[in-house]
Amino acid sequence: SVHAARGSVFWTLFFILLIYLSIPALAVLAKYDIYTSLVGSDFRSLPTWISYWANVDKINPLISVTDINGDGLVQLAEIAIDGDVLVLATPEIGGLPYVISGLVAAGGLAAALSTADGLLLAISNALSHDVYYKIVDPGASTQKRVTISKLLLLAVAFIAAYAASQKPADILSLVGAAFSLAASTLFAPLVLGVFWKRANHAGAIAGMIAGFLTCLYYMLRTNPILGGRMDAAWFDIAPMSAGIFGVPAGIAAVVLVSLLTAPPSRASNGLVDYIRAPE
């Protein structure tokens, strides 16, 4: 039912919010445990999890503890931990069995694959239906459209894999930038299109363009990787949080352009009513 679907979405977003709010606490607890249990300890009695994770990758060790000054005691400057492995090693740092680390790794891999699959399908279907079928070849058969969709999925997957292999930034910055661009482009048209009947086609397009360009401009202005400077930031907002400016710009554009142009048709309002309260 519609009520059950909306309830499911609510609880999904609620638990995602809890995860995002608990991640900083997890980082603080892991750092505190390392500071208290590892720093100052004897090199001859290091925890077993250090040797385990150090041997996972011999070329680029995930963790390294080296007695630089030769005093036999672990100093903070002598510890080098890869940021990606900290989450995996946290259960063992806290004294839990290594099986928990395996479950954490499996959960992270499953989440990454499911998210990537959904995004790839959405992008390929949008390109095949909205671009190819609607613009390039409106008379294409269903079989041809499915074939084009699969080919586009492969192309998008290769492009995404190549971009990720270049490692333009850390994963947090990439995810934050992606969410900022998506929110700046789509939040205003989607929300106002459903909950404000005066929103129209021209307003939605203007909102997407304004939100996207505002977010992109701020990223180019402040991200050093893209040639920007952090001293040019507005209110010291990080580049990956550019959606803070892009979303309001999109909302303002939707409202302004919708009020300056003709209202939507009765059929469009009927569709909005159906979306808001389906039978």
Digit-by-digit pLDDT tens for the chain (279 residues) are 667 877 888 898 898 888 878 878 877 887 787 777 778 888 888 888 787 877 877 777 778 888 888 888 888 888 888 776 777 777 877 778 878 878 888 887 888 788 788 888 888 888 888 888 888 888 888 888 888 988 988 998 898 888 878 777 777 778 888 889 999 999 999 899 888 888 898 999 999 999 999 999 999 888 887 778 888 888 888 888 889 999 999 999 999 999 999 888 888 888 777 777 665
Domain identity same for 154 and 184:
no
Domain span including residue 114: 109-166
Domain for residue 14, yes or no?
no
Q: What is the tally of structural domains in the chain? A: 3
Domain for residue 240, yes or no?
yes
Domain for residue 188, yes or no?
yes
Domain identity same for 133 and 152:
yes
Quote the distance between the C-alpha of residue 94 and its chain's center. 28
Domain identity same for 207 and 146:
no
Indicate whether this model's pTM tops 0.85: no
Of 134, 150, 166, which residue is a domain's last? 166
Domain identity same for 241 and 226:
yes
Domain identity same for 120 and 44:
no
Domain identity same for 79 and 38:
yes
Domain identity same for 77 and 178:
no
Domain identity same for 158 and 176:
no
